[in-house]
Structure 1
């Protein structure tokens, strides 16, 4: 039988990922500290801790992949109008707003995907916290199980 303390610890493990807005890498530090301190006390807390950490590691991996894909498109679009042979570089810059590059659309689409992913991440964390508060197990979608 789960007591309120176990439910609260599991809830705080999920909510501690929001500490990244105050502390760099707080989304990893908070859940890891709470999970390591309480994982032997309850299988419920252990499962929720692993889920929270696995989800944050998966989100980091997905963000790195999106960044690796998006950044080159941005730089290719930015430097497409530069003439690198010309010494007087600033006279050769021409901005054509009427015809944006297809690379801009692709980079913008990947950027929009990143924003949607961020919003979904926040929603999933809140859902996991509510499930933990109610004493239910929760599996984050699209999570890679790094810790088993």
Structure 2
């Protein structure tokens, strides 16, 4: 039987990922501390702790992959578009915005993908917190199970 204390701990394990907005790497430190302190007390808390830690590691891995793909496109676009701003000290400043590079569209698309991933991450964390509060198990989508 899952009591309210276990539900609350599991909920706080999920919600502790929001500490990233205050503490660097708080999305790892918060759940890890709460999970390690309470994993032996309850199988329910142990399962939720493993889920959120696996999810955060998976999100970090996905963000690194998107970043490694995006950065070269951004750098190539930066060097390709150096003539974007034409400054002549004796005349005036002219902006040349006739034709953006296709690399800009690729970089923008990957940036949009990263933004959507961030929003979905927040939604999944809230859904998992609500499931833990109700005493239910929650499996994050696209999670690689590092801890089993």
Q: Structures share a fold, TM > 0.5?
A: yes
**Cα-Cα RMSD:** 1.4
Conservation of the 8 A alpha-carbon contact between 1:10 and 1:129: yes
TM-superposition CA deviations, 1:37-78 (whole Å, max 9, x none):
000000000000000000000000000000001111111001
CA distance in 2, matches of 1:43, 1:116: 32
TM-superposition CA deviations, 1:68-122 (whole Å, max 9, x none):
0111111100111449xxxxxx77xx96312100000000000000000000000
Q: 1:35-114 to 2 correspondence within 5 Å?
A: 35-82=35-82, 96-114=96-114
2:129 aligns to what?
A: 129
Q: 1:55 aligns to what SS in structure 2?
A: helix
2:91 aligns to what?
A: none
- Equivalent pairs counted in the alignment come to 140
Q: Is there any run of 5+ residues in structure 1 with no aligned partner, and where?
A: 84-89
TM-score (norm 1): 0.91
CA distance in 1, matches of 2:95, 2:81: 8
2:13 aligns to what?
A: 13
TM-score (norm 2): 0.91
Runs of 4+ displaced beyond 2 Å: none
Compare the two structures and name the one with the higher strand fraction: 2
